[in-house]
A and B are shown apart, each in its own frame.
Chain A
Amino acid sequence: MADPNGYGALRALVRLEMRRSIPLVGRALIFGGVLSTVLLATGTFTFPRLAFVLGLTGIIPVMAFPMNALRDKLDGGLEFLRILPVPPETQAAARLLALAVVALPAALLCAVAAALALQADAPQIIGPQPVLGLFVALSLGLVGFGFFAVAVVLRFPVHQSGYLPLMLMAALVGMSELGNRYLPDPVGAFLALSGHAWFLPALWTSGIAMVGALGWLAFHLASEGIARFRPAKNRILW
């Protein structure tokens, strides 16, 4: 029996979001497999290169969610979902929940990639503790990044903003500059910290707090974006 106020609707929407991300996950895995094979076949295999391929393969599925949100805004999917008797909050929650579930296996791939890179960089240091730390950090980082991207796409007319790529580039350059200034050796710092017993609990706690805050903000932005959505004048669907 359907339950429009409760879990039935949420479950159906989470399933929809996950199912929609499957094609991109599949393509990402094929892409990763092909590229790794090419590395092996051409004799250009190195751990850092493999790590790069795996890292990319892990990030792509998370990008499916903001891309689906953008597609929904442009081709009528969002208008269709808005007609359903489901509050915008449930719709936003479903998108974010599905993303969090998909981000975990993606983070595992990224963590393996990062561990491989570290292994090549500092083979005498890397152990289970840093690898687990990487997995935790990357899981939370990917979830947080995905939340932020979905919320921004749903709430703001990013498809109409010609300045967005410039702003993103400026933000990346700024972050990179800040990183270089305050954390000149991130790998060394990470490995040094990961040796401490308090490292993982601290990472968990601070990461969850950050993702929680980001999730709360993303949930409100996405809900508001869905509630206020109106198709652009030149693509009125209904």
Chain B
Amino acid sequence: MQPVVMSDFTVEYPEFTLGPLDLSLDRGERVALVGPNGAGKSTTLKGLVGLLPRYGGSVTFDGTELRDAGAEVRARIGVLPERVLGFGWMTVTEHLDFLASFYPTWDFRYAAELAQRLELPESTKVADLSKGNGVKLSLVAAEAYRPPLLLLDEPTSGLDPVMRTEVLDLIEECAPRDGDRTVVFSSHILEDIEAAADRVVMLREGRLLMDASVVELRAGNPGASLSQTLRERLAHG
């Protein structure tokens, strides 16, 4: 069974309509959501977390409609939002301890290991973290309970090249290509998609423009890099 299925998924805001989208994600797949600002990438991710109170169509995770999903289903989805970190007055350790209360599968030792390896300053307040350390903290928080579905919104946006590589390596390590965890991430940085995705879903103005595997995209444009192919697709629709 495909763990994530979106059927006729539609979200209507006064200023923006997303969909209808039909999207199915396989276990172990790493899907990149691509598109210009306002294309609907974050709204699609929010739909996958079950954060949208009203939407048309259906979004299921392991057979459960997310609209009606209880906390036990939501506790199996890891989320790295683009900018929301938490409460600035908490230290890194307090932030992680607070989050641990909500996830039955939270692994304290693993969280501490990750934080140490990423050199997260434990006693620093969340508000005082740099952009890069903020992303690392969010990644640790999203990974510490090893959710089968990991949703990452612009995980490398605004990071310097060294930090970007570190974050991409961590994603690779947490969800290896031959693993059974599904990863969906949005990005503006086409090189990151080349490095981390095996399928690309392109959105524009709330509509699905393209849904293809990286292998298909490479085969369709031999000689060109994936980034170049994506750039052309984005430019020509």
B75 / chain A contacts, CB cutoff of 8 Å: 4, 85
In angstroms, Cα B102 to Cα A16, docked, is 13
For A238, the chain B residues whose CB sits under 8 A away are 42, 46, 81-84, 153
Question: Are A85 and B102 in contact, with the CB atoms below 8 A?
Answer: yes
Q: Which residue of B lies closest to A226 (CB)?
A: B53
Give residues of chain B (37-80) contacting chain A, Cβ–Cβ below 8 Å: 42, 46, 49, 51, 53, 70-75, 77, 79
Cα of A16 to Cα of B53 in the assembled complex, Å:
25
Q: Whole-angstrom distance between the alpha carbons of A228 and B28 in the complex?
A: 32
**A227's closest neighbor in chain B, by CB?**
B53
Q: Does A210 reach chain B (CB closer than 8 Å)? A: no
Q: A233 to B38, alpha carbons, bound, how many Å? A: 12
Which residues does chain A contribute within 8 Å of B99, judged by CB atoms? Answer: 84
With known contacts A1-B104, A8-B101, A228–B81 Cβ distance under 8 A: no
User: A236 contacts which chain B residues (CB < 8 A)?
Assistant: 42
Q: Tell me, in angstroms, the Cα distance from A16 to B84 when the chains sit together.
A: 17
Q: Which residue of A lies closest to B16 (CB)?
A: A233
Q: On chain B, which size bracket covers the interface?
A: 20 to 34
Q: Are A4 and B98 in contact (CB under 8 A)?
A: no
Q: How far is the CA of A85 from the CA of B70 in the complex (A)?
A: 8
Asked if A80 is an interface residue, CB under 8 A from chain B, the answer is yes
Interface size class for chain A? 20 to 34
Is A83 at the interface (CB under 8 A from chain B)?
Answer: yes
B15 within 8 A of partner (CB): yes
Q: Judging by beta carbons under 8 Å apart, are A2 and B104 in contact?
A: yes
Give the docked Cα–Cα distance between A9 and B106 (Å): 13
Most chain A Cβ neighbours within 10 Å, of B49, B85, B102, B103: B102
Q: What 1/0 flags go to A201-238 for Cβ under 8 Å of B?
A: 00000000000000000000000000110000100111
What would 23 A/B residue contacts be, using CB atoms closer than 8 Å? A2-B101, A2-B106, A4-B72, A4-B74, A4-B104, A5-B70, A5-B71, A9-B102, A11-B101, A12-B102, A20-B89, A77-B87, A80-B81, A80-B84, A80-B85, A84-B74, A85-B73, A87-B70, A233-B15, A237-B81, A237-B84, A238-B81, A238-B83
In addition to A2-B100, A76-B84, A86-B71, 11 A-B residue pairs with Cβ atoms within 8 Å of each other are A4-B75, A4-B103, A5-B71, A9-B101, A12-B101, A20-B87, A83-B84, A84-B74, A85-B103, A237-B82, A238-B153
Q: Which residues of B contact A (CB under 8 A)?
A: 15, 42, 46, 49, 51, 53, 70-75, 77, 79, 81-87, 89, 98-104, 106, 153
